[in-house]
Amino acid sequence: METKPSEISSSKMFGGYNKRYKHFSPTLGCSMTFYIYFPPSPSPSHKFPVLYWLSGLTCTDENFIAKSGAQRVASTEGIVLIAPDTSPRGLNVEGEADSWDFGVGAGFYLNATQEKWKNWRMYDYVVKELPKLLSENFPQLETSKASIFGHSMGGHGALTIYLKNLDKYKVSVSAFSPVANPINCPWGQKAFTNYLGPSKADWEEYDATSLVSKAHDVSATILIDQGDEDKFLHDQLLPNKFEEACRSANVPVLMRLQPGYDHSYFFIATFIDDHIHHHAHALKL
Amino acid sequence: METKPSEISSSKMFGGYNKRYKHFSPTLGCSMTFYIYFPPSPSPSHKFPVLYWLSGLTCTDENFIAKSGAQRVASTEGIVLIAPDTSPRGLNVEGEADSWDFGVGAGFYLNATQEKWKNWRMYDYVVKELPKLLSENFPQLETSKASIFGHSMGGHGALTIYLKNLDKYKVSVSAFSPVANPINCPWGQKAFTNYLGPSKADWEEYDATSLVSKAHDVSATILIDQGDEDKFLHDQLLPNKFEEACRSANVPVLMRLQPGYDHSYFFIATFIDDHIHHHAHALKL
């Protein structure tokens, strides 16, 4: 099985290209797809900084590319967008597709420790395998300059990956409507129980609110947009818990509550330019 | 069955709202959905001009709203977007879903004359029923100021509806990758044979290239964008036939061949702002 990515589609947009690739992932034990948006290049030897987008529950690598409109400003800012899928696919683990909020499409960007879900290692896939694969196969990417953002489950994934890798290469982080404190909400409790087992100490290793309260040396402001008519706000997302933890730990956070907006890509598309600018500013320092 | 539209969803975007409605259509004999994008309103009594978008084969009322990014500039220009569905649904006509390019999702914006497809009256639905319904139910719309555009089958629908109603209310027209001369391409020949019967004279009543060659008093420039890597360009779309007919009939046309672009919404999203500005300019004269 081929671990080297092969191009499966290419569409021009805003002067650049949305390209979709397929490869076999040794980390996950299955074939995976991801999208790269390449902005127009000023020269053949130009290298672009990269911005990872992590999607939410039920999404694939396609939703962000089709619906966010991020490519417009990524083109003018000269930033590459990377959109991975949200879980392993095609493994036929019993019950993997029984719930929309668990299993397929619901990797939660962690490394599962429970035998049944041993292939669910989206943390290692996003943090280790994918950057290495990109670095080895796409010379036009400056993979050492990388920032990360995402939506809902993926917004949380972005926050945790950033907070767990402050000493490494991640430059800046932002999130739309993140599942900000999963150990205290039904989506998170269901996923973490199944993937990580019953110990809450293990859960805290993948909880953004727990992680930020122990964070040191977060100097770049964390940008979060949240719609105040998001139907998941009060039961599942709990951004106020994350904001409180940031304040206690003296971590700079800009939490913007956007009146009237819901949890959809319509909300994301409205504010995506601000997030791209936020990351472009950090990546170009 | 209720002909008055009822709201079935509402999502804020770029300060305005994407609202989806459902109603029973007497013209088509089935329940239909459509989207309206309302930009932010400067006052409760403000009336907006309207811009109809007609989608292509296989699309519903949702594709344009989810993928085009048109709402951003519609908001700043103060224009309402209307996105109807592409055919009757749920009638269970034998064979209606056997082909992706005929039947359900493939109304071709004409009035079928053949008994089997008697409900396929998308021309009357878009030209008569929908404007009346909008005028009667949405006081914030200035439905007498209306322009029209679309993509592929819908780009062709926009051109034909405009050319057949020059004496009425349509202000301007534009199209992305229109099926510009359907009587001379496989998609059109299949649809027109089934919907309209064997007479080519009847087909010409719904063929943009035939219509424009007989047009009088087209003063506003027709804007067309076409990707030169569109895989349907040479067999199905034939924009050169339409352009030639425009030149012969002295109809002003701006045909832009966009290098590297394909037939997708990635292409549409790239140039949608230009089209919105084109219509805004005409609607505000």
- In order of B22, B108, B214, B253, B255, the CA distances from B245 in angstroms are 39, 21, 9, 10, 12
Q: Is residue B280 very low, low, confident or very high in pLDDT (cuts 50, 70, 90)?
A: very high
pLDDT of residue B272: 98
pLDDT of residue B31: 98
pLDDT of residue A65: 98
Query: H or E segment at B130?
Result: helix B130-137
Task: Render pLDDT for B168-181 as a digit per residue (tens, 0 to 9).
Answer: 777 999 999 999 99
With a pLDDT cut of 90, the percent of chain A lying above it is: 95
Entry pTM: 0.96
The answer to whether the Cβ–Cβ distance between B12 and A69 falls below 8 Å is: no
| Spatial separation of the C-alpha atoms in residues B6 and A271, rounded to whole Å | 29
Question: How many CB atoms lie under 10 A from the CB of residue A234?
Answer: 10
Q: Is residue A217 very low, low, confident or very high in pLDDT (cuts 50, 70, 90)?
A: confident
Query: H or E segment at B83?
Result: strand B80-84
The pLDDT of residue A156 is above 80: yes
Q: What is the mean pLDDT of residues A175-199?
A: 98
Question: How many CB atoms lie under 10 A from the CB of residue A123?
Answer: 21
- Average model confidence (pLDDT) for chain A? 97
CA distance A230 to chain B (A): 10
pLDDT of residue B77: 97
A interface toward B at CB cutoff 8 Å? 11-15, 18, 66-67, 69, 71-72, 227, 229, 260-262, 264-267, 269-270
B274 catalytic? Reply is no
Query: H or E segment at B242?
Result: helix B239-249
ipTM confidence score:
0.95
Whether residue B95 contacts residue B103, with contact meaning beta carbons closer than 8 Å, is answered with yes
Whether residue B67 contacts residue A67, with contact meaning beta carbons closer than 8 Å, is answered with yes
Considering only CB atoms, A12 lies closest to which of B11, B72, B266, namely: B266
Q: Is residue A216 very low, low, confident or very high in pLDDT (cuts 50, 70, 90)?
A: confident
pLDDT of residue B211: 98
Q: What is the mean pLDDT of residues B92-109?
A: 96
* Chain A positions in Cβ-Cβ contact with residue B273 (cut-off 8 Å): none
The separation between the first and the last C-alpha atoms of chain B, rounded to the nearest angstrom, is: 40
| Spatial separation of the C-alpha atoms in residues B43 and B84, rounded to whole Å | 26
Number of helices (H), then strands (E), in chain B: 10, 9
Greater confidence (A285 vs A104) lies with A104
Q: Is residue A146 very low, low, confident or very high in pLDDT (cuts 50, 70, 90)?
A: very high
The pLDDT of residue A3 is above 90: no
| Spatial separation of the C-alpha atoms in residues A127 and A121, rounded to whole Å | 10
With a pLDDT cut of 70, the percent of chain A lying above it is: 100
CA distance B260 to chain A (A): 6
Of B152, B150, B189, B87, which Cα lies nearest the Cα of B161?
B150
| Spatial separation of the C-alpha atoms in residues B24 and B32, rounded to whole Å | 6
Task: Render pLDDT for B58-72 as a digit per residue (tens, 0 to 9).
Answer: 999 999 999 999 999
Of B84, B74, B67, B70, which Cα lies nearest the Cα of B264?
B67
* Chain A positions in Cβ-Cβ contact with residue B262 (cut-off 8 Å): 11-12
The pLDDT of residue B102 is above 80: yes
Q: What is the mean pLDDT of residues B209-215?
A: 95
| Spatial separation of the C-alpha atoms in residues B104 and A10, rounded to whole Å | 28
* Chain B positions in Cβ-Cβ contact with residue A261 (cut-off 8 Å): 12
Chain A residue nearest residue B69, CA to CA? A69
Q: How many residues does chain A have?
A: 285
Whether residue A114 contacts residue A244, with contact meaning beta carbons closer than 8 Å, is answered with no
pLDDT of residue A53: 98
Task: Render pLDDT for B218-271 as a digit per residue (tens, 0 to 9).
Answer: 989 999 999 999 999 999 999 999 999 999 999 999 999 999 999 999 999 999
With a pLDDT cut of 90, the percent of chain B lying above it is: 95
State the catalytic residue, choosing from B151, B156, B263, B279. Answer: B263
pLDDT of residue B169: 73
Q: How many residues does chain B have?
A: 285
CA distance A26 to chain B (A): 32
Whether residue B205 contacts residue B112, with contact meaning beta carbons closer than 8 Å, is answered with no
B213 catalytic? Reply is no
| Spatial separation of the C-alpha atoms in residues B36 and B81, rounded to whole Å | 6
Contacts with B167 (C-beta within 8 Å, 6 or more apart), sequence order: none
- Average model confidence (pLDDT) for chain B? 97
Q: Is residue B3 very low, low, confident or very high in pLDDT (cuts 50, 70, 90)?
A: confident
Strands of the B48-54 sheet, one edge to the other: B6-13, B16-25, B30-38, B80-84, B48-54, B141-151, B170-176, B222-227, B253-258
pLDDT of residue A168: 78
* Chain B positions in Cβ-Cβ contact with residue A268 (cut-off 8 Å): none
B147 catalytic? Reply is no
| Spatial separation of the C-alpha atoms in residues B121 and B27, rounded to whole Å | 7
With a pLDDT cut of 70, the percent of chain B lying above it is: 100
Burial of residue B101, with CB atoms counted within 10 A of its CB: 0-12 exposed, 13-18 middle, 19 or more buried: middle
The pLDDT of residue A170 is above 80: no
- Interface contacts (A, B; CB < 8 Å): 57
| Phi, psi angles (nearest 5°) of residue B218 | -90, 110
Tell me the residue type at B243: E
Of A5, A74, A56, which Cα lies nearest the Cα of A35?
A5
State the catalytic residue, choosing from A230, A275, A278, A279. Answer: A230
Task: Render pLDDT for A64-102 as a digit per residue (tens, 0 to 9).
Answer: 999 999 999 999 999 999 999 999 999 999 999 999 999
Q: What is the mean pLDDT of residues A219-242?
A: 97
Q: What is the mean pLDDT of residues B130-150?
A: 97
Burial of residue A37, with CB atoms counted within 10 A of its CB: 0-12 exposed, 13-18 middle, 19 or more buried: buried
pLDDT of residue B196: 98
Chain A residue nearest residue B265, CA to CA? A66
